[in-house]
């Protein structure tokens, strides 16, 4: 039985290490090009499967080498990629610059991801009993996300929505999120507010209707907010090589733990550890640990 369905994007990540970000009109020389499997949705699916949940990915790639590469890497991570449709657009691509502090700048060309539609998402529920959790993010059309959320609600499936890249959400979609996972910038975009501390943002998102909220704080951990209150969970001090995809690893790990019956705070504790490990190696999916590695990390933390 599929425990988690991820409906989302798949990108070939074209990564160059640079000494700093280029200025407008400037040309910089960087490292050799590295090509990694990426895309928020595919990353979340890979992380979820690596963490131990039976996971299906629903998305689109082009009829090209990048599409073949992404399907293979999903399968190697243990993801069911049978619902990865081949469409008549190029596979999504992300151009990623990584600076020596491990931070990145990303431009995404969505390509095939633009054709992830509600019909494809609906079919993902059809072949066997409904999953326990559906994971969505915003690199596919917003209308598809809204319709998949409605479909999930009809089937009683728990919705984990990662509102990245940032964009406002309709109230009906927000009300289904359990949790809504955002960073502080995404939280501000949804609330339409420039100001406010993390507690205030979390309470604001609950007030706007989300059933539960997780605000990711990078190396400082995460804030969990629900009807039981707001709790800060600390991060881990680790050496940073590349933060790309750390947030997606977090989301995938949360989904895995919730699908296995964990309470949200326990799920977030596991997810913080998983994402902390990922920043120690290059790439997104390429850096994702398996469950035993996360458990060893937590035991030593």
- Select from 36-44, 55-63, 82-90, 178-186 the region that touches ligand RIB (CB under 6 A): 36-44
Judged by CB, which is closer to ligand RIB: 204, or 247?
A: 247
Please confirm, yes or no, whether 178 is among the known catalytic residues: no
How far the first Cα of the chain sits from its last, in Å, is 33
**Interface with ligand RIB (CB under 6 A), residue from 2, 3, 15, 38:** 38
**Interface with ligand RIB (CB under 6 A), residue from 160, 241, 284, 294:** 284
The reply on whether position 113 binds ligand RIB by CB under 6 A is no
Closest approach of ligand RIB to the CB of residue 19, in Å: 21
Using CA atoms, how far apart are residues 58 and 157, in angstroms rounded to an integer? 16
**Interface with ligand RIB (CB under 6 A), residue from 6, 40, 131, 264:** 40
CA nearest to 159, candidates 138, 194, 185, 133: 133
The reply on whether position 166 binds ligand RIB by CB under 6 A is no
The reply on whether position 182 binds ligand RIB by CB under 6 A is no
Closest approach of ligand RIB to the CB of residue 242, in Å: 10
Residues 121-150 that bind ligand RIB (CB under 6 A): 139
Judged by CB, which is closer to ligand RIB: 139, or 186?
A: 139
Residues 210-269 that bind ligand RIB (CB under 6 A): 244-245, 247-248
Closest approach of ligand RIB to the CB of residue 40, in Å: 5
Closest approach of ligand RIB to the CB of residue 234, in Å: 23
Q: Indicate if the alpha-carbon torsion angle 27, 30, 33, 34 is positive or negative.
A: negative
Closest approach of ligand RIB to the CB of residue 165, in Å: 8
**Interface with ligand RIB (CB under 6 A), residue from 16, 35, 95, 106:** 106
- Interface with ligand RIB (CB under 6 A): 9, 11, 13, 38-40, 43, 94, 106, 108, 139, 244-245, 247-248, 284
Task: List the catalytic residues.
Answer: 248
């Amino acid at each position: 039985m599929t425990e988690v369905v991820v409906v989302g994007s798949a990108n070939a990540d074209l990564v160059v290490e640079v000494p700093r970000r280029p200025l407008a009109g400037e040309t910089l020389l960087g490292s050799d090009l590295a090509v990694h499997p990426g895309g928020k949705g595919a990353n979340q699916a890979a992380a979820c499967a690596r963490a131990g949940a039976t996971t299906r990915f629903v998305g689109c790639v082009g009829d090209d080498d990048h599409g073949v590469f992404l399907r293979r890497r999903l399968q190697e991570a243990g993801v069911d990629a049978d619902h990865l449709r081949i469409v008549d657009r190029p596979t999504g691509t992300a151009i990623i610059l990584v600076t020596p502090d491990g931070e990145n700048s990303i431009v995404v060309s969505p390509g095939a991801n633009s054709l992830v539609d509600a019909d494809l998402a609906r079919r993902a529920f059809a072949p066997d009993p409904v999953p326990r959790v559906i994971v969505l993010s915003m690199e596919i059309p917003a209308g598809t996300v809204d319709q998949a959320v409605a479909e999930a609600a009809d089937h009683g499936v728990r919705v984990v929505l990662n509102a990245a890249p940032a964009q406002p959400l309709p109230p009906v979609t927000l009300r289904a999120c359990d949790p809504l996972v955002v960073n502080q910038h995404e939280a501000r975009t949804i609330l339409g507010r420039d100001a406010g501390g993390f507690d205030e943002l979390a309470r604001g998102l609950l007030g706007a209707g989300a059933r539960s909220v997780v605000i990711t704080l990078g190396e400082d951990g995460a804030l969990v907010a629900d009807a039981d209150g707001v709790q800060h969970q600390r991060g881990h001090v680790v050496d940073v090589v590349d933060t790309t995809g750390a947030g997606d690893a977090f989301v995938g790990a949360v989904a895995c733990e919730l699908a296995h019956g964990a309470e949200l705070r326990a799920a977030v504790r596991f997810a913080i550890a998983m994402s902390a490990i990922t920043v120690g190696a290059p790439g997104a999916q390429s850096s994702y640990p398996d469950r035993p590695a996360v458990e060893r990390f937590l035991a030593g933390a």
